[in-house]
């Protein structure tokens, strides 16, 4: 969602804030703004539109001062406009606030303050916070913050500056991410580390209800009742270059190409002497044997990893598996107990619905295991166990390397559980581990065929609709392929289980409709061939994704084919998704879409 930054130090704040906002623009990009204390008052410059618009204004307009906050917005309350952009300022100009999250009871508070004569100018929920701060301020900013957090409901990461305490930046959070960066003679706040990586690697992560007060030479932390806290700093290992485009035109292409390396980093440290070694988790053999059901809960692309996981877990563990989108799981009153294992998947580790699902699982006594990419994120901190995907920062809104590495961790968990409970004969386990180990090199090989996919995309990027079909794990991969295409190219697409077509969706097929058929599962190949014949008979053009050994047979029924390396059945989506990520990328590029920042989307969805 929105990105926030704050700076206090010896340099001019505006350029530092802009630099940080550039790294956070993936979180939201419909408007941006900064507020800096200029020695006399808090001065705000903000504008509707991309960060580049703000940057242009700041080239013309002086914004002197060494203390400030900045924001890049993904609108929730009020359309993108100059006045709804953050920072939001209180009536008397005393407080400026940047916010990520949603204040759910903002209307009640707004009406209450209006009755007391406070004038509001925006439609945002955030303005309520700025107005409340001034309303409750009686010479002590911390006390005013305490009064505000006592009254607001919802989620927030807030950066605050106050004209009457101009040598400080204040920060507080609940259910929205916020970190404090500790520099030399300068300190920062940010929604995530990429915003401050070029300045410092020492960070403290605020927990719910904690408040930070940043001064140039020190940072103090307080609990919700203003009790002082000691917070240890941690060192961030991410490479600065990892958050840069490094010569690629888009982060998405860079991240697609990073998948072989990311897979290697995620898999190889966890395979030792012919065994899966998961040192990072504490599950015992007895606990694994005691599980009666596994739940996999996530959103978007991470949910699609769950769709693959269902097949892997059922095959390897013969355990009942339920896969759910987090926004449904959290409100459907799932039946859980201490014999339930709930696997939570999230790249960011901050997705609001996924976090709420994790909390619901814990509340009901289930054992929770998170698969997360962002180290130290809220989901990672709250789950009983966490397995990190070592994908490095994923900046493009469309997830690619997170998907691949999450899949790899799912295979590792399923194989580990099978290994620990002795469910797999040694030879079979060895075969799977060999297949897992081979994935990075196979992905590398597959990604060498970019031009072929680029050519396919050039033939179909003008299509209005496309359909992806598959069976078993090929259907799970179709879900992700379809999401990728629609989110960045805006081409309408649907994914269907191939066997379901004849129950309705086949009515959508007409002369020239493109159907992408994923047919990598040898076991179900003949069934797929029948379904392909059915759509061809109704005029569809079919692109088949398959493995080398099945190509010849597939060529008899399809208009064109693309081959991916063969692997263990349940790992096939790790291969079949690669050409389809490329297909979405090229189609979006040919349509002139903004690939890294697709319309209406944001990278980290920290609101419901
Ligand atoms: C993927 O391309 C999307 N941007 C989106 O579906 C994403 O996977 C989803 O919002 C979940 O995010 P998370 O993995 O950070 O929880």
> What is the per-residue pLDDT across 450-469, written as a single tens digit (0 to 9) for each?
999 999 999 999 999 999 99
Closest C-alpha residue for ligand 1 atom 6: 300
- The pLDDT value recorded for residue 238 is 76
Residue 65 has pLDDT above 90, yes or no: yes
Q: Which residue is associated with the tokens 């390897």?
A: 316
Closest atom of ligand 1 relative to the 398 alpha carbon:
2
Closest atom of ligand 1 relative to the 603 alpha carbon:
4
The rounded distance, in Å, linking the Cα atoms of 288 and 293 is 10
What tens digit of pLDDT does each residue of 423-443 get? 999 999 999 999 999 999 999
**What's the chain's average pLDDT?**
95
Residue 205 has pLDDT above 90, yes or no: yes
Distance 28 CA to ligand 1 centre (A): 14
Cβ neighbors of 310 (< 8 A, separation 6 or more) are 296, 321, 323, 476
Residue 123 phi, psi (nearest 5): -95, 5
Segment 167-180 shows an average pLDDT of 95
- The pLDDT value recorded for residue 64 is 95
Distance 72 CA to ligand 1 centre (A): 19
Closest C-alpha residue for ligand 1 atom 16: 346
Distance 93 CA to ligand 1 centre (A): 38
495 three-class SS: strand
The rounded distance, in Å, linking the Cα atoms of 20 and 437 is 38
Closest C-alpha residue for ligand 1 atom 5: 300
Distance 552 CA to ligand 1 centre (A): 36
The rounded distance, in Å, linking the Cα atoms of 565 and 577 is 12
Ligand 1 pocket: which of 330, 344, 347, 349 to mutate (most atoms within 8 A of CB) = 347
Sign for the CA dihedral angle at 146, 151, 153, 157 comes to: negative
| Residue 352 contacts residue 326 (beta carbons within 8 Å) | no
What is the Cα Rg of the chain in Å? 25
What single-letter DSSP state applies at residue 117?
A: T
CA dihedral (209, 214, 218, 219) in degrees, to 10, reads 10
Which residues carry out catalysis?
A: 2, 603
Closest C-alpha residue for ligand 1 atom 7: 300
Distance 304 CA to ligand 1 centre (A): 10
| Residue 126 contacts residue 95 (beta carbons within 8 Å) | no
Distance 400 CA to ligand 1 centre (A): 10
| Residue 441 contacts residue 260 (beta carbons within 8 Å) | yes
The rounded distance, in Å, linking the Cα atoms of 320 and 588 is 39
414 — pLDDT class (breaks 50, 70, 90): very high
Q: Hey, how many other C-beta atoms are within 10 angstroms of the C-beta on 490?
A: 15
- The pLDDT value recorded for residue 165 is 95
Segment 545-556 shows an average pLDDT of 94
Ligand 1 pocket: which of 299, 401, 403, 486 to mutate (most atoms within 8 A of CB) = 299
Segment 381-394 shows an average pLDDT of 96
Protein residues whose CB sits closer than 6 Å to any atom of ligand 1: 299-302, 346-348, 351, 354, 397-399, 487, 604-605
Residue 81 has pLDDT above 90, yes or no: yes
């Amino acid at each position: 969602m929105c990105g926030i930054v704050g700076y206090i130090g010896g340099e001019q704040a505006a350029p530092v804030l802009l630099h940080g906002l550039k790294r956070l623009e993936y979180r939201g990009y419909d408007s941006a703004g900064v507020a800096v204390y200029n020695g006399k008052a808090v001065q705000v410059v903000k504008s509707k539109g991309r960060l580049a618009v703000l940057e242009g204004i700041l080239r013309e307009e002086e914004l002197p001062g060494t203390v400030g906050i900045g924001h890049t917005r993904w609108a929730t309350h009020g359309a993108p406009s100059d006045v709804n952009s953050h920072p939001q300022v209180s009536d008397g100009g005393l407080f400026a606030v940047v916010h990520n999250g949603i204040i759910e009871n903002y209307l009640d508070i707004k009406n209450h303050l209006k009755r007391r004569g406070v004038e509001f100018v925006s439609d945002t929920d955030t303005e309520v916070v700025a107005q409340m701060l001034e309303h409750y301020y009686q010479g002590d900013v911390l006390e005013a913050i305490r009064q505000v957090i006592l009254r607001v409901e919802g989620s927030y990461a807030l950066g605050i500056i106050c004209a009457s305490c101009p040598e400080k930046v204040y920060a507080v959070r609940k259910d929205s991410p916020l970190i404090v960066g500790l520099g030399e003679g300068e300190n920062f706040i940010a929604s995530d580390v990429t915003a401050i990586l070029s300045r410092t690697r020492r960070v403290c992560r605020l927990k719910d209800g904690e408040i930070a007060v940043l001064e140039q030479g020190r940072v103090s932390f307080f609990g919700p009742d203003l009790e002082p806290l000691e917070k240890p700093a941690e060192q961030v290992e991410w490479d600065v270059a990892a958050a840069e485009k490094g010569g690629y035109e888009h982060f998405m292409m860079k991240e697609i190409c990073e998948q072989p390396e990311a897979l290697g980093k995620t898999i190889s440290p966890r395979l030792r002497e012919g065994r899966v070694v998961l040192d990072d988790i504490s599950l015992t053999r007895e606990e694994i044997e005691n599980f009666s059901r596994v739940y996999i809960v996530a959103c978007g692309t991470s949910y699609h990893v769950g769709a693959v996981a269902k097949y892997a877990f059922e095959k390897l563990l013969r355990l009942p598996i339920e896969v759910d989108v987090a926004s449904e799981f959290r409100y459907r009153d799932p039946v859980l107990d201490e014999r339930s294992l709930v696997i939570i998947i999230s790249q960011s580790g901050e997705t609001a619905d996924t976090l709420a699902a994790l909390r619901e699982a814990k509340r009901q006594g289930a054992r929770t295991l998170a698969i997360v990419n962002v180290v130290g994120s809220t989901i990672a901190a709250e789950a009983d166990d966490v397995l990190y995907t070592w994908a490095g920062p994923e900046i493009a809104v469309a997830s690619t390397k997170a998907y691949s590495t999450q899949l790899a961790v799912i295979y590792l968990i399923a194989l580990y559980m099978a290994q620990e409970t002795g469910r797999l004969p040694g030879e079979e386990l060895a075969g799977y581990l060999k297949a897992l180990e081979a994935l990075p090199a196979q992905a590398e090989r597959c990604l060498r065929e970019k031009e072929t996919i680029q050519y396919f995309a050039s033939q179909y990027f003008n299509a209005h609709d496309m359909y992806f079909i598959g069976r078993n794990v090929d259907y799970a991969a179709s879900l992700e392929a379809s999401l990728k295409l629609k989110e960045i190219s805006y081409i309408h697409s649907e994914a269907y289980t191939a066997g379901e077509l004849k129950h309705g969706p086949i009515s959508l097929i007409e002369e020239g409709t493109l159907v992408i058929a994923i047919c990598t599962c040898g076991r179900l190949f003949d069934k797929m061939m029948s379904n392909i014949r059915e759509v061809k008979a109704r005029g569809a053009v079919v692109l088949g994704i398959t493995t080398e050994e099945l190509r010849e047979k597939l060529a008899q029924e399809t208009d064109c084919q693309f081959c991916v390396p063969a692997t263990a059945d349940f790992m096939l989506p790790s291969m079949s998704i690669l050409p389809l990520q490329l297909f979405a990328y090229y189609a979006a590029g040919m349509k002139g879409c903004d690939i890294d920042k697709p319309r209406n989307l944001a990278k980290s969805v920290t609101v419901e």
